[in-house]
Amino acid sequence: MAINAVVKVDGENVDQALKLLKKKVEREGLVREIKKHAYYEKPTEVKRRKILKAKRKQQKLVRKLQEKYKYL
């Protein structure tokens, strides 16, 4: 996966360019992707992580619906 991010530096404004680069990298999810592939994860661990993520997402949806229909 190759993603090119280009940030032009105008004059002495290196700090602002660095801040812009960090935002671009965060938006693309590059840091998260690198950390995910930094070490081997067993297939059972991958499955377990996905199941837990799905459970959290479901619980969040239930809480949201309960809050919405709380006053009915």
Q: Which pTM was predicted? A: 0.52
Q: Are 4 and 36 in contact (CB under 8 A)?
A: no
Domain containing residue 19:
14-70
Q: Is residue 6 scored above 80 in pLDDT?
A: no
Highest mean pLDDT of the ranges 13-17, 25-29, 30-34, 44-48: 44-48
33 lies in some domain: yes
Residue 41, C-beta contacts closer than 8 angstroms, at least 6 positions apart = 49
DSSP state of 40: -
The span from the CA of 17 to the CA of 38, in Å, is 27
Query: How many domains is the chain built from?
Result: 1
9 lies in some domain: no
